[in-house]
Amino acid sequence: MRGHIRKRGSTYSIVVDIGRDENGKRKQKWISGFKTKKEAEKALAEIIAKIEKNELELTNLTLGQFLNKWYETHCELKLAPKTLKSYKELIELYFKPYLGDIELTKLKPVMIQNYYNKLKELGLSDTTINYHHRVLKSALKKAVVWQLISKNPCDYVEPPKKNKNEITVWSINDVKKAKEIFKDTPIYLHFMLALYTGMRIGEICGLKWEDIDFNNKTCTVKRQYQQVGGKEIIKEPKSETSIRVIPLHSDVIEVLKEEKKKQLQNRMLLGEKYNKKYEGYISVWEDGRMKTPEYVSKKFSKILKAYPELPQIRFHDLRHSCASFLVQAGVPMKVVSEILGHSQIGITMDLYSHVLLDSKKEAIKKLEEYLQ
């Protein structure tokens, strides 16, 4: 096994001999983009050592083979379970069937662009195709880091822009009616928490009584409950900023107190028959079993369908409704962002800019009336 270094312009390239083809012609592998000769020499030594140990196969490495390796060595160590599942489906159902047989070094921007066009023909939305682009670009960025390719072909492809779907939220009158509708249902507590705190459903189901400070009327969000592939997962929220303390409205405090009282009574009544697996959790049935996010979401939609006069929103849209009310009430966007647990204020601005614009228009209208 031999290799050498070539200077091309202002950078250095590695040339590795990888045997001969069926006609006896020598085959070489070029890896470019090293800023100094020293970097190239170090990389060459590492690559030759890996090839000799059969740790890295440079010949005819396909995109599909690379994605398998990327998923195993990178994704499984860093990604949350739901994201991991999404990436796996993307690789197996789309990337590998359409692009998987292409040699990694021969993957061109036009091939990726044609792939996006094909997805469009299949009926996938621009937002979904944009997601494909972001995942593929991330994977190929790692291929550059691993020095399997010199450039990321996704950098030269323009994906479709994400659709900015208009968020459906309730009005104050809608909320007043909905509170009466959901009051005596098994998900009233979840409904109130989502509406008055903007918490995600997984965060609500992950709450424990120890997270509620009844004296200071606050709730600490520090975990979420998920179900992925039939498995239960209890983990930290989406980001560091998702771990937060949220003030609680007096109405929510009263609902929580009533729920805690009922749970204590149920535990005493059932005794040993009470399910202790979810001890301390708030989102439980009378016998201690978990009221899962899936159940809460489906139950919410089912109850709402019986009242067509109300806008038919998703449970998650209660979070959007909460945010919209906060913005309309004049709460600073930074504070709204902190309550929702967004990682960046830009996310909040992007989602609720239309509400902010309406508030600005109302402010200008009041100014006009005042100056008349």
What percentage of the chain has pLDDT greater than the value 90?
Answer: 51
Q: What is the pLDDT of residue 351?
A: 62
- What's the pLDDT band for 190 if we cut at 50, 70, 90? very high
- Is residue 94 a contact partner of residue 136, using CB atoms and an 8 Å limit? no
Residue 25 confidence (pLDDT) above 70: no
Distances from the Cα of 305 to the Cαs of 175, 181, 247, 311, 313, in angstroms?
15, 11, 31, 10, 10
Which pairing describes strands 3-8 and 11-20: parallel, antiparallel, or unpaired?
antiparallel
Q: What is the pLDDT of residue 330?
A: 82
Mean pLDDT of 27-46: 78
Residue 22 confidence (pLDDT) above 80: no
pLDDT tens for 128-162 read 899 999 999 999 999 988 888 889 999 999 888 87
At 308, list the tokens: 């067509």
Q: What is the pLDDT of residue 247?
A: 94
Residues in contact with 168: Cβ distance below 8 Å, sequence separation at least 6, in sequence order: 311, 313, 317, 320
Residue 126 confidence (pLDDT) above 90: no
Burial (0-12, 13-18, 19+ Cβ within 10 Å), 14: buried
- Is residue 116 a contact partner of residue 157, using CB atoms and an 8 Å limit? yes
Mean pLDDT of 287-305: 95
Residue 297 confidence (pLDDT) above 60: yes
Q: What is the pLDDT of residue 237?
A: 72
**β partners of residue 30:** 15
At 66, list the tokens: 């690379």
- What's the pLDDT band for 14 if we cut at 50, 70, 90? confident
Sheet arrangement for strand 11-20: 3-8, 11-20, 26-34
How far from the centroid of its chain's Cα atoms is residue 28's Cα?
Answer: 41
Please name the amino acid found at residue 240.
E
Of 72-76, 170-174, 186-190, which gets the smallest average pLDDT? 72-76
- What's the pLDDT band for 371 if we cut at 50, 70, 90? low
pLDDT tens for 330-370 read 888 888 888 888 866 666 666 666 555 555 556 556 556 65
- DSSP states along 3-68: EEEEEETTEEEEEEEEEE-TTS-EEEEEEEEESSHHHHHHHHHHHHHHHHTTS---TT-BHHHHHH
**β partners of residue 62:** 103
Q: What is the pLDDT of residue 77?
A: 72
- Alpha-carbon distance 199 to 185, whole Å? 19
Closest among 198, 210, 213, 187 to 283, alpha carbons compared: 187
Residue 318 confidence (pLDDT) above 90: yes
Mean pLDDT of 112-117: 93
Phi, psi angle pair for 306, to nearest 5°:
-75, -5
